[in-house]
Chains A and B, each alone.
Chain A
């Protein structure tokens, strides 16, 4: 059963535009110019119950706009949208009781109070029965191991602790669908890992449908079975993530720091991103990574070495440049 269904969904924003400087400001007072930007364009999507779907795309791709339309925060310009059988922008309370949304940079917690105070508010807002509230709170706080921070003032918590509290607040009422917009943004590696493991558990054990947007490839790769790639508001890819990464995550970024000044000469087909006598950073095709590493280890006195996967932006760029077949966008 599909819990989310969109057909030809489109959102166009009207933006105010003015030339820089005083002259531009005065001119815009009399002759205001607006430009249209289509943030989501003819977007069709179906998401089934219990799926964990990653929305992938660079900044400004339209991911957050899509989430805002699915949660009813903004109204679509055209097209159809249905979430759990509701038209989201009608903002019916019976609909709002069945989903939750966590925006990485916006908080539902009251900064001056403890997270436990916000949880009590959510208990009443969502009419959660006492027993269910106690069980859920105990379950989630244990899963995160943050019992000792429940009564601490929110504004004094670390970013990671705060995000864990946001997730608990969102899940106390057992939502059927959870929307997550950049939940790990700005967090350290340990907190990111804990949140990933928490979300995996929630999806696996509770069957919550999760829609995740993230800039971190690791979030998407380790959590989502299905990926939807968006750029310029259009869907570029919709399907299994494994085949997406096999096909489009073709490069690795290798960065090397040298102990001593080094005049390293690399093969011409390697893309150098940055090079100075003490550092070189390059993009290497995945199949050539081993060979290049061997060359570096053999010829250089290395003080540090990092190997990173392609970031989401590069993958999207590659998909965009390479084109995509109709089956993949199904």
Chain B
């Protein structure tokens, strides 16, 4: 376990090496929240509620979901696997005594810790500066459940991108799989079409997919909503995570034999 912690640390250290990057990350975090506050302020106008949300709950939802989204860097992991397998530098993970998934996971966690730290600083600055009431639930069960669900969601996204990365051993180029995955994620999370416009059976079916539980539901739970979905949500995402463990092990052990280390 200690070795994965060291990988996380070295990945975090690599992120904070350039001071301008750090400064701009901080400014970007603050600007993003100010922008959201202005936009939602205009939308709310003189109304106290929109679709059951107050301005404070809406902004709280935005901040929480932004945090969770910024921690999901699994896309980078999948893409890094692809280019490393293609150019032969994937060998560096194969010759050190650590599990490849563990190495990449710890590396991704190190990067996520960087974004989380600076977005948190930005959020605190903003909340203090504008005296915003942070509308987070006081229900401990919901908070713990939401954090557990979010953690499982992030692990799942890493597993999924790792799986797509592994496919590079066979297909050489997996951009199509990545694109399909990104479209499904956008569809299920309502980024393409508002979920409310879809028929109820479709929405129910989508709730069996894991993406709904990565950022959307944990964010809603943290602002005290959708509590009735807590248990089923944790079970569904845990089942997905459990299912991907043997799938990834089998696929990696099977396909890595095709690796030729070309470029070394």
Contact = CB atoms under 8 A, between A and B. Distances in A.
B259 A113 contact: no
Report whether over half of chain A's contact residues are helix, strand or loop; otherwise say mixed: mixed
B252 to A, nearest CB: 10
B228 to A, nearest CB: 44
B14 A113 contact: yes
Contacts of B92: 106, 108
Contacts of A245: none
A135 B4 CA distance: 24
B13 A117 contact: yes
Contacts of B261: 68, 73-74
A320 interface: no
A165 B208 CA distance: 50
Interface of B: 2-3, 5-7, 10, 13-14, 17-18, 88-89, 91-92, 94-98, 257, 259-261, 264
Contacts of A68: 91, 261, 264
Contacts of A181: 264
A89 B14 contact: no
B10 A117 contact: yes
Interface of A: 13, 64, 68, 71-75, 89, 91, 93-94, 96-97, 101, 103, 105-106, 108, 110, 112-113, 117-118, 120-121, 123-127, 153, 181
Contacts of A106: 88-89, 91-92, 264
Nearest to A111: B14
A181 B260 CA distance: 16
A197 B18 CA distance: 37
A181 B263 CA distance: 13
A110 B91 contact: no
B14 A71 contact: no
Given A73-B91, A106-B92, A127-B3, A96 B97 contact: yes
A203 to B, nearest CB: 20
> Top 7 closest A-B pairs, CB basis?
A124-B6, A93-B97, A96-B97, A124-B3, A75-B257, A112-B17, A112-B14
Contacts of B259: 73-74
A71 B95 contact: yes
A257 to B, nearest CB: 38
Nearest to A99: B95
A118 to B, nearest CB: 7
Contact of B3 (A73, A91, A125): A125
Contacts of B95: 71-73, 96, 101
Given A72-B95, A124-B2, 7 more contacts: A68-B264, A74-B260, A75-B257, A96-B96, A106-B89, A112-B17, A121-B6
17 contacts: A68-B264, A72-B95, A73-B94, A73-B259, A75-B257, A89-B257, A91-B94, A96-B95, A97-B97, A106-B92, A110-B14, A113-B13, A118-B10, A120-B10, A121-B6, A124-B6, A126-B97
Q: Which of B89, B92, B97 has the most CB atoms of chain A within a 10 A radius of its CB?
A: B97
A93 B96 CA distance: 8
A118 B96 CA distance: 13
Contacts of B94: 72-73, 91
A123 B3 CA distance: 8
B248 to A, nearest CB: 15
A120 B14 CA distance: 14
Contacts of A64: 264
A21 B227 CA distance: 61
Contacts of B5: 124
Contacts of B6: 120-121, 123-125
A110 B98 CA distance: 17
B10 A110 contact: yes
B98 A93 contact: yes
Nearest to A123: B6
Nearest to A108: B92
A121 to B, nearest CB: 5
